[in-house]
Amino acid sequence: MLGQNEQLQGYQDRFRYLYVAVAVALSLLFLRLWYLQLFKGAEFKQFAEENRLKKIKVDAPRGMVFDRNRKLLLDNQPTFTVSITPQYFQAATKEERALALAKLGKIVRIAPSAIEDLLYKARRQPKFQPVVVKKNLSMDEVALIEMDRLMLPGIEVAVGIRRTNVHGVVGAQMLGYIAEIDADELPKINAKELENPYVQGDPLGKMGLEQQWEKTLRGENGIEYIEVDAYGRKKVPVGRKRGEVVQAIPPKPFVPGKNLVLTVDEDLQLAAAEAFGEEKTGALVALDPGNGEVLAMLSWPSFDSTEFSVGVSPEYWKQLATDDRKPLRDKTIYDHYSPGSTFKMLLALTALEKGIVDTEWSVTCAGAYRFGNKVFKCEHVHGRVALVEAIHRSCNVYFYQLMLKVGLDEWSAMGRRFGFGRTTKVDITEENAGLMPDRDYYDRVHGKGKGTQGYLISLGIGQGEVGVTPLQMANYAAMLANKGRHFQPHVVNAVYDRRTKRARPVAVPEETVTLSDRAWDPVREGMRRVVMEPGGTGWASRIPGIVSAGKTGTAQNPHGKSHAWFIGFAPYDDPKIAVCVL
């Protein structure tokens, strides 16, 4: 009996301990619930709210681009993309998913099995990240999808932009293009964009003005929230009930990108494109010598930049990449070429300014010049010629001998004063500095002291190891027009803020190559005769009623046909335009 009492007492003690343990556990649970309710209630309410709401990125409109007369050059056109969000799509039943794919496939004319393949390939990406099914939907396709929205779980249409070059291919290299940011470049770019980071799918300027002025054009995306059901389908706009605004999570409004007003004249651009036609290859740059404004900038042939903004097709990319005329390269600033006879004025200015010769120094041209065992040719037999006539009739023999008198050092130093061998700092990406060889260059490339006089003679007529861009040559023409006074070439005239409705002009620096009139006047007179007097190589380019000046040039090309140049300015006494055509 005693043993039974002791055993009973033991059970009672155990139950007592169990009661205490349960009481303690319940107390701790109560305290935890009290803590969560009192101190974490707002936070968990926010979590619940965010689970009920779907965050939507609102793309900021990209800034538009206008010409100097406010004519639209780059526009934003709406484009529609249908996508499937796996997180919501997989929440539906198997039958609902099959029906949705069948309906969507019929609307967008894609087999349901092909859509399933897209989802399978995207299986490793986050479930909340939409999988694009088709871009560039027609308005009819958008309407049909919206009509069947309740039967399309996880399927939605997003509005994007198609960056449109109003004039098709004209000026595409200068204007540039946009494309979706690559996943590989996203971390690198965001390391520099802490305040306004990019996300996958954002457009990014990839060339020309679009790239150089990316921060200005881009703007800041906004965020809004919509209430969704378990399938991710939109129910009602958040914060709106019978006309009343009740914001659960305040939206973040977008900030539109700023517009660019260019210095370029649309009519001049179109006229240049028409002049090149279908078959020609080359470049044209026209500047205002009085302020450095780029009036026209054309690289030809060109490409349709609109195709890149919506995802360039493999066929079109292959067509561009395999074209021997290289339409994707900007020939105005990226490629450089030997300048040919257009460089004769640089040599003449050097010789006159340094007092090496005067305008009376002359040579006899018999159609060729022998130096050692090599013969350097001229296009014609000019007889006795002095400096002005040598420019007028483009006598190679005169400039062969003049280069030997001037020498490499003086010639190269003058070339750098005129901006050759360095960039102009134009406000577009990927400008090439070209090549202005000096003694260090020849020592480095050919070995110290191994540069021969033969190299020097060729440089005198702009041949050999010298490379210039059409923009540099247009800038050179502007300096000849203004006797050395010039401005940094620029394409953007002003930045226009759509919110404040204010335009901010772009300031540009002014420089001067200071030479005496004894150098400028004879050289400019020779250029005037090239265009305005018979026998000049630019006689065919004269415009009735306008006195102008210029110089032609032909540069040998080891890779194919020779390059034909023309640089000039007009009117002669009050220049309003300086031009280079290649």
Q: Where are the domains of the chain?
A: 2-39, 54-257, 333-489+507-581
Max mean pLDDT range (55-59, 456-460, 468-472):
468-472
Please state, in angstroms and rounded to a whole number, the distance separating the CA atoms of residues 59 and 222: 6
Residue 170 reports pLDDT greater than 80: yes
Q: Which residue has the tokens 């996203």?
A: 186
pLDDT of 327: 93
List the one residue out of 75, 333, 335 whose CA is nearest residue 212. Answer: 333
pLDDT at residue number 450? 67
pLDDT tens digits for 387-428?
999 999 999 999 999 999 999 999 999 999 999 999 999 999
> Rounded CA gap, 357 and 43, in Å?
86
Please report the pLDDT score of residue 243 as a whole number: 40
CA distances from residue 206 to 127, 178, 213, 227, 502 in whole angstroms, order as listed? 30, 5, 10, 36, 27
Phi first, then psi: what are they for 353, rounded to 5°? -65, -40
| Cα dihedral sign, 399-405-408-410 | negative
Q: Where are the alpha helices (DSSP H) in 250-311?
A: 266-276, 306-309
Residue type, 64: M
Report the 10 Å Cβ neighbour count for 570.
Answer: 20
**Residue 3 vs residue 131, higher pLDDT:** 131
Q: Confidence class of residue 181 from pLDDT cuts 50, 70 and 90?
A: confident
Q: Where are the beta strands (DSSP E) in 360-427?
A: 362-365, 368-371, 374-377, 383-386
Write out pLDDT tens, residues 279-316.
899 999 999 999 999 999 999 999 999 888 877 888 99
State the greatest distance between any 2 C-alpha atoms of the chain, in Å, as a whole number: 148
Listed residue (266, 241, 257, 237) closest to 249, CA to CA: 237
Cα–Cα distance list, 137 to 134, 143, 346, 491, 576 (Å): 7, 10, 57, 35, 48
Coil, strand or helix: which one is 364? strand
- Could you please state the CATH topology (level 3) that the domain comprising 54-257 is classified under: Penicillin-binding protein 2a (Domain 2) (3.90.1310)
**Residue 219 to residue 495: CA distance in whole angstroms:** 13
Within 259-395, strands assigned E span 259-262, 282-287, 294-300, 362-365, 368-371, 374-377, 383-386
Confidence of residue 45 (pLDDT cuts 50, 70, 90): low
Cis status of the peptide bond prior to 187, with omega within 30 of 0:
no
The pLDDT value recorded for residue 37 is 63
Q: Please give the CATH number for the structural domain made up of 333-489+507-581.
A: 3.40.710.10
Q: pTM value?
A: 0.83
Q: Got the DSSP string for 58-71?
A: EPPPPPPEE-TTS-
Which phi-psi region, left, alpha or beta, contains residue 171 (left: φ > 0; alpha: ψ -120 to 50)? left
Mean pLDDT of 311-335: 91
Inform me whether the pLDDT recorded for 33 exceeds 80. no
Confidence of residue 136 (pLDDT cuts 50, 70, 90): confident
pLDDT digits (tens, 9 = 90+) for 59-104: 888 999 999 999 999 999 888 888 888 888 888 888 888 898 899 8
- Can you tell me the mean pLDDT for 110-137? 86
Among left, alpha and beta (phi > 0; psi -120 to 50; other), residue 393 is: alpha
